[in-house]
Structure 1
Amino acid sequence: MKRQRFLYSVLVAVCSLFILYAIIKNYVVDPNASAFLSHKTGLKRELNLPAWLNVMYVHVAFACLAMGTGLLNFSNRIFRKSRRFHRINGYVYLMSVFLVVLTSGYLAPYSTGGKMSSIGFNALNLIWPFITVMAVIGIRKKQIGRHRDWMIRSYAFCFTNLSIHLLASLFQYGFGFSYSASYTLGIYGSIILLLAIPEVLIRSLFPPAKPSILK
């Protein structure tokens, strides 16, 4: 229990910092996404900048909302105080996930790295909602443990953007790949990590009960 509380405290700190960073960077420091767009070369489709920026603003807003609402629903204290809030907040999380995926579908064809990056993002846009719906099915069937495990898997994908940029930086500055190639590798590397890490956490924090041996 202490380990779970410690991990949740770390998660709160990381999420709070990341949400604050995303809001300041995308709405205050660089609202035109000039730094990010400077890496987009050789696009097969003409980018309508005003439309792209508006979709990006919505995408970032609901990504932050998904991260925040998901974080609240992992709080045992809030769950004990109000299961109604937990349920309503869960549906806000579900809506946020689908809006992030929807806007990502628009942004994917303009991905840095071209077609391979676009395919990676479209794969993410299929995996995340599927996992999230599985969490909803679990709670509908009153399978609390199953719901919790699928929510952990779903919530991991709130860190897609952070994971992609961390891995892209590693490939670019650590291994000397170009920015475009590093970004593409970051996308596929993130898919692997965001599927694997939750499984490790689930098995570590909630190990299956050992069957009793009758003598």
Structure 2
Amino acid sequence: MADWSLSHEVIKASLTGIVSLITLGSGWVVGSRISAMWTLRQKRRELALSAASELHRIYGEFFAIWKLWNYSKKEAPSSSADEMRWDLMKRAAVVEAGFEALLMKIASERVLSRADCDDLGLLRQGFQRLRESIRSDKSLDWSSSSDPEYVAFKRLSCHFANLLTSDRQWRRPRQETAADALLDITSNVHEIRWKQLSASNPRSGI
């Protein structure tokens, strides 16, 4: 009888130990998964804020080049005009390249709607306007806060910044629609839409 009681206690203690180990193991697994998910979320947030910061920098550089270009058309001595034009052309090209990189980033990382792609494609045309104006040796005449192109450029830039920092669904790895989104954004069809904006502006050089 004593042997049976002892065996019973041993089995009971063993089962209790096993249950404790399973509970601890399950808690560790769940805790590790939660920790990994939180770390991933934090990392994505950091990358999103970094991308938004880069957009802010590009946006500021765009305006600096724009103001300098319009100034050079009116005030720069003819002896330095060509040199300044080439320098500003190079800076405008760098701005455009940085913007294109951000477009590829968001197309490959986020799930975008068709409306998002259309808006980003239209904004891309706006960023191209500066380089095209310099190439054509014409001022970029967004002289009024109500200029249709200027209004569209500001609104779409804010929309892009919000997209970069939003909780929009992240694209799963190897999802083929990433390339489709980028192709939609960079389609020349958006040039037609931008020209429609330009047509409503009597001062436009297009």
TM-score band, normalised by shorter chain: 0.3 to 0.5
TM-score (normalised: structure 1): 0.42
TM-score (normalised: structure 2): 0.44
Pair member with larger Rg? 2
